[in-house]
Chain A
Amino acid sequence: KNEVEQSPQNLTAQEGEFITINCSYSVGISALHWLQQHPGGGIVSLFMLSSGKKKHGRLIATINIQEKHSSLHITASHPRDSAVYICAALNDMRFGAGTRLTVKP
């Protein structure tokens, strides 16, 4: 069993929809990263969280340390948001399997 679990594995949405991707971890971590990987393969670090909530444009990430759970929300989704989103406790070397998001126009 992976110590970092993401859901859903795949997600298809219509443009404009509100999207939530969930990440649960079973061990203590120091910080959680949300990464975005586009079809070309490049990885972009979206957020690093150790507590609370962070917002960047249409993206919001939250983390609940007690419940060992984090969520990534995308408001007003757009086809350019189509990518694989990976939650990772990078500094603890643990990775989720990724959520493949497809946003249709």
Chain B
Amino acid sequence: DSGVTQTPKHLITATGQRVTLRCSPRSGDLSVYWYQQSLDQGLQFLIQYYNGEERAKGNILERFSAQQFPDLHSELNLSSLELGDSALYFCASSVEGDSYNEQFFGPGTRLTVL
């Protein structure tokens, strides 16, 4: 158990809908990262937050947004869902937000868009 929690574990929804994925980092970790893993693309970095502020942005679509709250939990919002958004979404956390911190992964949320 990494100490990172994600909810829900599974989510099934329809095209055009909007969903929110939630992540709670390990106690004491200030940085949260979001990743997408689809069958054909492998792992892709989406976005990083550090202590409430956006720190780095990767291949995140405009339909997707995220935020980190004062209690350091983070939410990833996915809107106007398409079939291709079906994937595993992982969050990870680290103590700080710089290059030499190990990241600890949550169990993931499996999103299925029908």
Chain A interface residues toward B at CB < 8 A: 30-31, 33, 35, 41-45, 48, 50, 86, 88, 90-93, 95, 97-98
Contacts and interface: CB of A to CB of B under 8 A. Distances in A.
5 contacts: A45-B92, A86-B42, A88-B43, A90-B45, A92-B99
Contacts of B108: 41-43
The A contact surface, by secondary structure, is mixed
A30 B99 contact: yes
A95 B110 CA distance: 20
A48 B58 contact: no
Contacts, number: 49
Interface string B1-38: 01000000000000000000000000000000100000
Contacts of A48: 102-103
Contacts of A30: 99-100
B102 A33 contact: yes
Given A86-B43, A93-B45, A98-B42, A41 B88 contact: yes
A33 to B, nearest CB: 7
The B contact surface, by secondary structure, is strand
Interface residues of B, number: 22
Contact of B105 (A42, A92, A95, A98): A42
A95 B103 contact: no
A86 B45 CA distance: 14
A11 B6 CA distance: 31
Contacts of B105: 35, 42-45
Contacts of B102: 33, 45, 48
A91 B56 CA distance: 10
A33 B42 contact: no
A45 B104 contact: yes
B58 A93 contact: yes
Contacts of A31: 99-100
